[in-house]
Amino acid sequence: MDYSLKLLYFFAFLGGSVIFIYTLYIIYQNIKLKKILALPFKKEYKEYLKNTPYYEKLPPQDKEKIEKSILIFINTKQFIGIGLDITEEMKVIIAFYACLLLLHKNSCYENLNTIIVYPTAMIVSMLSHSNGIYTKDKFLIDGQSSNDTVIISWHDAKKEAYHLRYNNVIIHEFTHEIDFMSGEINGVPPLEKSKYHEWVQILFDDFKKLNNVALKNRDWNKYKILGSYAATNEAEFFAVVTERFFESPKVLKKHFPELYKELKEFYEIDPVKLLQV
Ligand SMILES: [Zn+2]
């Protein structure tokens, strides 16, 4: 047989095998998904969720949707406890807030594999470099995220999950995950092209103003609502304003109406209306 013909057969076989394996994978994923969606949404899960400010306020169709998302989340992601045993409550509460952010998107954090849960805030060491001097600093953090892993302190998460507070570490870390979905962590989530300009203009304008106030450490006025941590960079700004959007929506809407509108359009949720606050 001609050498080029042999090569052609070889690549045809290789291509066919790849398509065959990929088809098998898709079939396997669909069977797995069907099995997960056939699982009952336990009474205990609903009991945990009833104590959050959002679950009972969701319209019936959204409640049904988020329950399905929670089942997919807790059955496809790996939960690892460090210094504690992972409970159903931890899984359901973390999944609930993560899925609330993506309630109207067709996604369940496909890149995310693992959620690590610590009992309390963690101490992390970071090496920083300035003017030829390396400094090793220790920071106390209640959460952290990378492209495929989220770390949560359960002490903070639980405290914030059942009441409307200023902060919500689960919402914060999962906003970073949404930020990662656009390819880089820069405060811009995946957006339609037509929305990009408006998002950058509104969010980054407030980010710059907050930065100025934080640098001078005076004339905080309404920027006090956002706090100095939001001035760290654009990604932290996006995570913090999302926390405020869900946790203190009325205050955010009053003082930052454009920012509120932008987030409302992105998440397709109106917390002020939903919670009737
Ligand atoms: Zn952050």
Q: For the segment 44-78, what is each residue's pLDDT rounded down to a tens digit?
A: 999 999 999 999 999 999 999 999 999 999 999 99
The reported pLDDT for the residue numbered 37 is 87
- CA 219-224-230 angle, to 5 degrees, is 110
CB 243 within 8 A of CB 263: no
Instruction: Return the C-alpha torsion angle 237, 104, 97, 204, nearest 10.
Output: 0
pLDDT of residue 106: 86
Helix (H/G/I), strand (E/B), else coil: 272: helix
Chain-centroid distance of CA 157 in Å reads 14
Task: Give the Å distance between the CA of 157 and the centre of ligand 1.
Answer: 14
Domains parsed from the chain with CATH numbers: 37-275 (3.40.390.10)
Distance 90 CA to ligand 1 centre (A): 20
pLDDT, tens digit (0-9, with 9 covering 90-100), for 222-250: 999 999 999 999 999 999 999 999 999 99
Q: Residue 87's CB: how many other CB atoms inside 10 A?
A: 14
Q: Look-up: residue for tokens 């009325």?
A: 250
**Cα 273 from Cα 240, distance rounded (Å):** 21
- Alpha-carbon gap, residue 170 to 228, rounded angstroms: 19
The structure tokens 């056939």 sit at: 38
- How far, in Å, from the CA of 46 to the mean position of ligand 1? 29
CA of 57 to the centre of ligand 1 (A): 27
- Written as one letter, the residue type at 169 is V
61 Cα: distance to centroid of ligand 1 (angstroms)? 31
CA of 247 to the centre of ligand 1 (A): 16
State which residues of the chain have pLDDT below 70: 124-133, 135-137, 139
pTM metric for this prediction? 0.88
At 42 the three-state DSSP class reads coil
